[in-house]
Structure 1
Amino acid sequence: MTTASLAPAPLNPLLSDGGPALGDNEFAAIARIMMTEARIHLPPTKKVLVHSRLSRRLREHRLASFKDYIAFAERDAEELRLLVTALTTNHTHFFRESHHFDHLRDVLLPQLKRDPARSPVRMWSAGCSSGEEVYTLAMTLLGTERSEAEWLRGRDLRLLATDISEPVVRAAAEGFYAEATADGVPEPYRRAWMVREGAGYRMADTARALVTAKVLNLFGEWPMKQRYDVIFCRNVMIYFDDTAKSELEARLVEMLKPGGFLYIGHSERLIGTAAERMRSRGNTIYQRTDGAA
């Protein structure tokens, strides 16, 4: 990667640690970049977080100020991608908001098992982070015993996991988790679908074979042509303003099959046309009812 300068930058005296300060104008410019590139809203309360996460990018390129860094990122597509990645929050854990997986297991799974084997099943974890959500989905479908997964034999079932951050998508594809992370998996599931490896656990081949992990900007072009039985998009929309939320939710609903389910985060709600086309089926669980049989 090209750097902006070969010589070490002088230390900025404005901060006690010698690093450059983040001025209001520079923060506003970074906020505009995040809105343009990812539709993520950065309020002024995030200024300290932005400074902390981007300071290392300045040090790596030996840049003297955030103004210089912004100019560099705006003319370097790879650095612009890294800027967005640095400011993307990736917090998740296995079986988070477990009532969603209870609903999937108790309501949807019996329906899937009754459907003809020729019916393809598609599920999408949108904003998958490092993959804990999509593998919780996989384990819920597979069951707590390996014998329970027999219903999948010959079935066309695929789970898509997407995120804007390339590092976390790689982690999801690898399916390896530290022991402390894997502790969040109930023992029956961990015993059936996770394999001890070094200082952690790797998802079993059967679970990993169900998952395809891809980099995707939710506000960019979506290459998927098929519709989905299930979409998980949880604790993602909290980072967007209402205009972006309404746009994204409408697109998500359109990607659902009639009768398909959308699961959102505990502090999120449906607005705009999405609210008109969906019916509540539980706490932050919605079903597309327009066009449904």
Structure 2
Amino acid sequence: MNALSASTDWIPGVSPDIYSADDFAEIAKIIYGAAGIVLPKGKAMLVYSRLAPLVRASASVTFSKYIELMCTDGAELNKAVAALTTNHTFFYREAHHFDHLRNEIRPRVIEKLRNRQPVRLWSAGCSSGEETWSIVMTLLGPDRSAGIDMTRADLRVLATDIAPHAIDRAQAATYPAKDLKPVPEDLRRAWTTEKDDQAVMSDAMRSIVRFRLLNLLDDWPIRGKFDFIFCRNVMIYFDNPTKERLVKRFCDVLSPNGFLYIGHSERVTGPAANDFHLVGPTIYRRRAA
């Protein structure tokens, strides 16, 4: 028996016959292989609380039986991965990124669109959409008429996440109005409508965004290059080799001089590090050559 399962420190009130340390170790291995998410031993209770409803719903009774199901049923594995994904986010998170977007990126985007050039953006790990809508509002700016003109040009935003429930909420594009308080008032006024304490994103914004399910470890059905990519507070769940492979893949789909925005506790490391230079707090620019 695993030393942890024999310990009195195992989860209080949870029988090892239902959920053991060996079960946790096997789940951690499966989830790492499927999504690159690292689950240290301290996450045993989190795994139990997130997966117990799935175990019950599948009539597996024990976690060991549920593990067998995960290994034979791809849809069930995807449910487990989604359940273990943390979808904590909020509007205008890490505001300095949006300052850079407004001051440095937006003028370039406007110039490209005026010259009839395509502009492509990617919110990778978009969760429930707050990041994506913050990006779009910032780019379109406070002048609604000028922003509408931008949406009619060749401007497209890809927003992806591994969790179906997160994508569903992002596509609904409706949030408690109080959640938008961090967004500058002129942007809220231009691009949202409030009713019954709910804020709804405008149809014009929604017309340029495509929300899609995507596991960042899988193949990317992506053509062309992105002008910038947001991937914030996603890599904190990966080990270093996975992070470094992901950064290299981002580099490969970024245009020369394109920007990569990452989370405040993340860094660009590994073979692709020489392809970027730091231009602001957790803002990297891909070198032109």
> TM-score if structure 1 supplies the norm length?
0.90
Partner of 1:221: 219
Tell me, what secondary structure is at the counterpart of 2:158? strand
- Distance in 1 of aligned mates of 2:241 and 2:168: 30
- Distance in 1 of aligned mates of 2:160 and 2:151: 25
User: Does the Cα contact within 8 Å between 2:178 and 2:197 map onto a contact in 1?
Assistant: no
Tell me, what secondary structure is at the counterpart of 2:258? strand
Shift of 1:201: 1.4
Tell me, what secondary structure is at the counterpart of 1:81? helix
Gaps of 5+ in 1: 1-13
Tell me, what secondary structure is at the counterpart of 2:39? coil
Partner of 1:252: 250
C-alpha RMSD of matched pairs (Å): 1.8
Deviates more, 1:25-34 or 1:189-198: 189-198
Partner of 1:67: 64
1:26-83 CA-partner distances (Å, limit 9, x unpaired): 0111001111110111111111100111111122223321111111222222111101
Deviates more, 1:72-81 or 1:265-274: 72-81
- Distance in 2 of aligned mates of 1:37 and 1:274: 23
- Distance in 1 of aligned mates of 2:197 and 2:67: 39
Deviates more, 1:242-251 or 1:68-77: 68-77
- Distance in 1 of aligned mates of 2:191 and 2:148: 14
- Distance in 2 of aligned mates of 1:175 and 1:153: 17
Shift of 1:20: 6.4
Partner of 2:125: 127
User: Does the Cα contact within 8 Å between 1:182 and 1:200 map onto a contact in 2?
Assistant: no
| Amino acid corresponding to residue 264 of structure 2 in structure 1 | H
Gaps of 5+ in 2: 1-10
Q: Which of 172, 194, 208 in structure 2 is aligned with 1:174?
A: 172
Partner of 1:273: 271
Residues 1:112 and 2:109 are matched in the alignment: yes
- Distance in 1 of aligned mates of 2:150 and 2:118: 11
- Distance in 2 of aligned mates of 1:243 and 1:167: 28
1:93-112 CA-partner distances (Å, limit 9, x unpaired): 10000101110110111122
Q: Identity percentage over the alignment? A: 44
Partner of 2:287: 289
1:26-105 counterparts in 2 under 5 A?
26-105=23-102
Partner of 2:20: 23
Tell me, what secondary structure is at the counterpart of 1:274? helix
Shift of 1:290: 3.6
User: Does the Cα contact within 8 Å between 1:117 and 1:154 map onto a contact in 2?
Assistant: no
Deviates more, 1:192-201 or 1:231-240: 192-201
Partner of 2:185: 187
Shift of 1:163: 0.4
- Matched residues, number: 278
Residues 76/96 of structure 1: CA separation in 2 closer, same or farther (3 Å cut): same
1:115-142 CA-partner distances (Å, limit 9, x unpaired): 3431100000000001111110100011
